[in-house]
Amino acid sequence: MLDLDKLNGSLQSFIKEKIKDFSCKVAIVSGSGQGFIGEKMEVLQSIPFTDIPGFKATGVSGHAGQVLLAKSAGVPVLFFKGRFHWYAGATATQFHAMMQLSQLLGCETVLLTNASGSLNATMHPGELVMIDDHINWQTNPLAGAVFGGKTMFVDMGQPYSKDIQNMLSDSASSSQIKLHTGTYMGVMGPNFETRAEVKLFRQMGADVVGMSTVADVLVARFYQLKVGCVSAVVNFGAGMAADQLSHDLTLDRAQQSSEALQQLLTLFIQKYHSLEAHYAS
């Protein structure tokens, strides 16, 4: 069993000791080579993952492993610069710690970003895909999860919030950013797919494939956080193009969509903030 109550107690003590007067509504979790998302934010406090109960070092280059308490265009946000991956030895505890910390700091919504391989010939490297659904080809961080009466039998009929998707679509169209919509295939990694796997995943209805995100979504939904996800396509799947795939290629190609992704998230945060203020008034 995962002792999620104990984890929550440790995180509460950590917040009391180390974090002064910070709360926000949205947490952003960035993917491989996407630390740039935080570059234009005003950083109020930066905390290494290794200081936080339940967290550990990410163990992957391109994933710095820091939590930034920050402001994006004046709006407070929690920014996870780096995240956990099964392939790098993460356990369920780290996924839970991330979402518990977000919730304890006031977050209602988690926006995930990632880098992915395209399985769909119309979704090209350098373009962005808003994730509407996923297929879990990984393991499951909810197995044995017991916390405050929450059931681990989480409904996944609409894991990616329609409200958040609408806000993302509006933000994209208001700034002429091309944003596809698609299904994410979550694999364990760390290897890239074979040609036969790419063929199978295409037949299954997936549009992009990646090694992250699904565990974060499952745990976020366990805590009833709203979820949004934007994937930056960095390559075509094996057999769809001549690229030799590597993590360096992922990090390099993640730069291609950096400006669009940064702009999209900044607009999204502003939109979220103004809609929230509207409903609160």
Q: Which is nearer to ligand HPA, 11 or 64 (CB)?
A: 64
Cis omega before residue 190 (within 30°)? yes
Amino acid sitting at position 264: L
Q: Which is nearer to ligand HPA, 204 or 275 (CB)?
A: 204
- Tracing tokens 């979504």 back to the chain, one arrives at 217
Return d(Cα 81, Cα 49) in angstroms, integer: 9
Q: What is the DSSP string of 252-280?
A: HHGGGGHHHHHHHHHHHHHHHHHHHHHHH
Q: How many CB atoms lie within 10 A of CB 145?
A: 20
Residue with the shortest CB distance to ligand HPA:
117
Return d(Cα 256, Cα 221) in angstroms, integer: 31
34 contacts: CB under 8 Å, gap ≥ 6: 113, 114, 115, 232, 254, 258, 261
Binding residues vs ligand HPA (CB under 6 A): 115-117, 187, 192-193, 209-211, 234-235, 237, 245, 250
Q: Which is nearer to ligand HPA, 106 or 189 (CB)?
A: 189
- Least Å from the CB of residue 22 to ligand HPA: 32
Q: Which is nearer to ligand HPA, 160 or 192 (CB)?
A: 192
- Least Å from the CB of residue 113 to ligand HPA: 12
Q: Which is nearer to ligand HPA, 69 or 123 (CB)?
A: 123
- Least Å from the CB of residue 265 to ligand HPA: 19
- Least Å from the CB of residue 254 to ligand HPA: 9
Q: Are strands 128-137 and 179-187 parallel, antiparallel or unpaired?
A: parallel
- Least Å from the CB of residue 2 to ligand HPA: 27
